[in-house]
Amino acid sequence: MSQQEFWNQKFSRDGFLYGLKPNSFISSKIKSFPANSKVLCLGEGEGRNAIFLAQRGFEVSAIDASDIGLSKLQQRAKEEGLNIKTICIDLNEWEVEEKYDVIVASYLHMYEKDRDRLFDNIDESLKENGIFVGEFFSQNQLKYDSGGPKDKELLYKVEDFKTHYTFSEAQVKEQITILDEGKGHQGEASVIRVVLQKS
């Protein structure tokens, strides 16, 4: 099953699987985003982070494999009078074409073997002094039932980020949090929170 088929199945249901509120970690960091930033949301699904950021005046683009998820995003954007650029593509096929001040991601389910290319693309897409903020399920999430894949290869370790982003000032921390993100993410969870600034 392709990424598009997998996520279209999830997003074809009524409502918004992960709710309407942005990821709380991403929303807690927007004070550090430069004014009028050009922001890219990776694996953005139904658009909760993109809508939140566009409401606050950022120029937002969103990438996702699911055309159904992005259609829901565009419907919400239209209702709220927001202009958000959407790009329907599997992140494994993403080619860098633009530079951004900020890139955000919440819960990208990428196989370990595919991450180096993803991380390289994030680096290449960031402008000098650009910021990447992300929250990911750690491998310890297998102990919890609050959401996320049950395949260890789709979960992350702190070292995944620290070994790749040696060039930057990176903050990478694994911690337990309480998720309240629609029906899809509810309860105690083990996550890795990443903030890095390209030097």
Instruction: Select from 3.40.630.30, 3.40.50.150, 3.40.50.10470, 1.10.1300.10 the CATH code of 3-197.
Output: 3.40.50.150
| Predicted local confidence at residue 163, as pLDDT | 85
Listed by start position, the domains of the chain span: 3-197
Calculate the dihedral angle through the C-alpha atoms of 8, 148, 58, 131, rounding to the nearest 10 degrees.
Answer: -130
Residues pairing with 131 in the sheet: 102, 197
What tens digit of pLDDT does each residue of 48-69 get? Answer: 999 999 999 999 999 999 999 9
The 8-class DSSP code of residue 176 comes to E
| Sequential DSSP letters for 52-119 | HHHHTT-EEEEEES-HHHHHHHHHHHHHTT--EEEEE--GGG------EEEEEEE-----GGGHHHHH
| Predicted local confidence at residue 195, as pLDDT | 95
pLDDT over threshold 70, residue 78: yes
pLDDT over threshold 90, residue 7: no
What tens digit of pLDDT does each residue of 86-123 get? Answer: 999 999 999 999 999 999 999 999 999 999 999 999 99
